[in-house]
Every structure is written in C-alpha cells, then in structure tokens.
A and B are shown apart, each in its own frame.
Chain A
C-alpha cells in the first residue's frame, strides 16, 4: 500500500481529504503511482503531468524520505520506506506566486 499526500488544491479537485492509499501492481515507481492516482481520480489527469508530454508540471515536486525525487527517472524504484507504507510520497506545489 503506497501512501500519497496531495496538495490542498488537488485534494479539492478529487473531492477527498487526507492521504490517498494506492495498491500498485508491479514495481512501485513515481510513474506507476501517478498512473494509479489518475486512474482512481480521473479529474487529476493533466494536473500533475502534462496531458500530452506526460512530463511533471514545472511547479510540482515529488518528495519522499526527506529526498527530492523530482529529477529522478519516473521509472526509478521508490524508496523502501514508501513501498512499505512507512513513509508517504509527497506531491508538493512549489512555494511561488501570490
């Protein structure tokens, strides 16, 4: 079970509160997590990754275990603590703007 923490605006769009818990088939990666997230909450398509390029949107970051995973390959395995559910994957909006 992977735990995901979304920024407040995306929780609002998905009409949820608190963390999301996702079952990932196969190797858990950032790509697999976002795929599963978008499958469960289709209204989030395009909000984390660009609709067309599937690239991470510039002002979003992926953090876990006090590390910034944003520039890692989206197909890199997630840390063990995230895979075990001990630590969440944080999807964070950059601190910018008004």
Chain B
C-alpha cells in the first residue's frame, strides 16, 4: 500500500511524519538536528530516499544535510558518517556548507552591492539557505535559494555549490532590497515540461524566469501592483511570497503576493488578480491540488501588520475555478482564539487518489486533510514553530 512521508522543518529541529495511504495514523520521528533552525527539507522526485535539508543557526551558520535512506540517517555531503578525516586525494570536505557569490569576470556583471533598508548600496552577504529544490530527474542535482538573494546549484549531491550568477547579474539586482524577513530567494519552481525553464521568487524583488536552465533571467512581474513601493507597477520591488503550479499546465502559475492572490496563464508574462471573495488576500502559502489544475489553496492572514488568521479562525480557502471564487474549509480547524501564522514554505500536497493537503503553523501544529481539504485533523500539535512542510508520496 502506498504511503506518505511529511518532512517538517521547525525553529528547533526537523521531524519526519509517516503514514500509510489512509493518512489516519502517523509515526513521528525527530527532532533531527535538535536545537537548530531547519528552514527547509525536500526529497528528490527522482529518488524518494534522497532528502536534502537546510540546517542553520545564527551562531554557527549554514549546514547542508543529506539523507540517502529517507530520513533515517543524515550526513553532510562529502563527509560520510563516521569518517571525519579526509582521505588522501579526497575532495575537500566542508565545501557542502560553502556558498560563495560568483564575482568572476565571465559572468559579465559581477555584483558587489544591492539596495539596503537605508537606501544605500550594501554588500551581498550570505546568511542562510531558505529553500532547497531537488531536480525533477537527477537526485544529485539540487538548487538552493539563499539570503542575500541568489540561486545556487549543486550537481554532486550537495558536496559543492555554484551560483547561477545570471540572476543577480541580469540588471535589476542593484535595485533589490530586503523585506522584513531579509532579502531571500525563497521559491524555486522547476518546469516539469521544459527542463530549460526555472521560476524563482525573491522578497522583496519579485518573480523571475529563466528559459535557458538558469543562465539568463528576466523579471516577470507585469500586472503586479504593490502599494508599498513608490511606483506600484514597477518592474521589480514586489514582495512575492510564494508561487505554485500544476505539473500538467506549467504555463499557469498561482502566486500569493504580500497582498493579492495572482494568476498567470503565460508563464509570468502577465498576471491578473484572482483574490475574488477572499476575506483578506494577505498570506504566505499557496498550492495546487495534485489532480485538479484549477483547484487552488491559500490560508488568508489578516494583514502584514497582524500575522494571524482573521477573527481568530484558522481557515484554508479553496478555489475550484482557478481563483476568484473561494470557499472556506474549516472542519477540524480551530474556529476561535487561533492566532498562529502559516509561513510561505509550510504547505504541500500529496498525489494519492484523494489528494492530501498539509500545512504547518507557527504554533507547532501540522494539519492534514486526506480529502482535498474537506476535513482536517492535526498530525502533531506541539512542535516548535513550523517553518516548512513538504510531502513525499511513496510507492
């Protein structure tokens, strides 16, 4: 019988939640990397036992972890467990944690600064990995979105990382500036129909697309309107929170922006607002049903000043029409006195026959619905604040 594995990153460690296809009873393992912030964990679509994790700390910096057995054991790539000493002629160890901005001449425009909060130019400084996106076809290839915003790629299973410098260097980089959470590249979407196409999103710069496997990039923000920047229609400066697509229609993207839920039908060339009847269109997460490309999920949050659900009611909203018309999903979710947040990487879907929907909260709950959102139940209630949720559907 098939099953699911839910990978949960929290402020104080990682947890792996597993269940069979009924998704009624769960095994919980963890905390892995106890005491560390786990911004994101994700499994390879090409090898479900291959997992990558971003382990980070304000004290000790960035660590990349890898599992080759579905999360039972972990190691830093290039540093196998029990082998701390590098052998003769071995690849230098410790490079798996090294993210160095590309300032080589061959990139054409080596950037050294971006705009800071005070309007002055500020050096790019690596802080952490926000998001890891494994290749759809190669378990050893994985992309990393980092703060300060840049895109890196590893083709050796996370042992070493190289920047795809064309993103920072395409021209608008010096105009990017941090949002309240830092200037982070938090979303990486790989086009399942076109291996040359990659989408990324940066706070607070906007969305960008490459059509040549990450070599060159351009902003795709036409149609976005952000009242918090001097020119609401500017090419960059938008605080995109999350982008999602359905694999069968990779030209259709859904976006949760700071404010506004948006949709494009032409791979980002232009966007239209589909917030419709949402009670508030601020939020962080957005995702698409595994089998219904027009069924979309968001969790509305009251406002950018009040990061909790409206009226203390935790409600997932579902649109079956690709936006504009939304229904509240409440069964099993707290409908009073609930003041948690749901962060941008903390929603995912499985691909079982009845699509499962999952999300985690800053209050430490991970909720699951085994029937596309009609009914919800907590898998766990008392984890540290949840930063990310990913799901693997297992054979």
**Which A residues fall within an 8 A CB radius of B?**
7-10, 13-15, 38, 40-48, 50-52, 57, 59-60, 93-94, 96-98
Contact = CB atoms under 8 A, between A and B. Distances in A.
Given A9-B59, A57-B60, A46 B98 contact: yes
Given A42-B93, A43-B76, A46-B94, A9 B84 contact: no
Contact of B94 (A15, A38, A93, A98): A38
Contacts of A96: 58
Interface in B80-105: 81-82, 84-86, 92-95, 97-100
Contacts of B76: 13, 43
B62 interface: yes
Name B's interface SS.
loop
A46 B61 contact: yes
A40 B85 contact: yes
Given A43-B76, A43-B84, A52 B100 contact: yes
9 contacts: A13-B63, A15-B82, A43-B84, A45-B93, A46-B97, A51-B98, A57-B60, A57-B61, A60-B60
B35 A9 contact: yes
Given A15-B84, A42-B84, A47-B61, 6 more contacts: A8-B35, A9-B59, A41-B84, A45-B98, A51-B100, A94-B59
Q: Most chain-B CB neighbours within 10 Å: which of A7, A46, A47, A96?
A: A46
A93 B35 CA distance: 13
B58 A59 contact: yes
Contacts, number: 70
B81 to A, nearest CB: 7
Nearest to A13: B63
Contacts of B92: 42
A9 to B, nearest CB: 6
A21 to B, nearest CB: 14
B199 interface: no
Nearest to A97: B58
Contacts of A45: 93-95, 97-98
A44 B58 contact: no
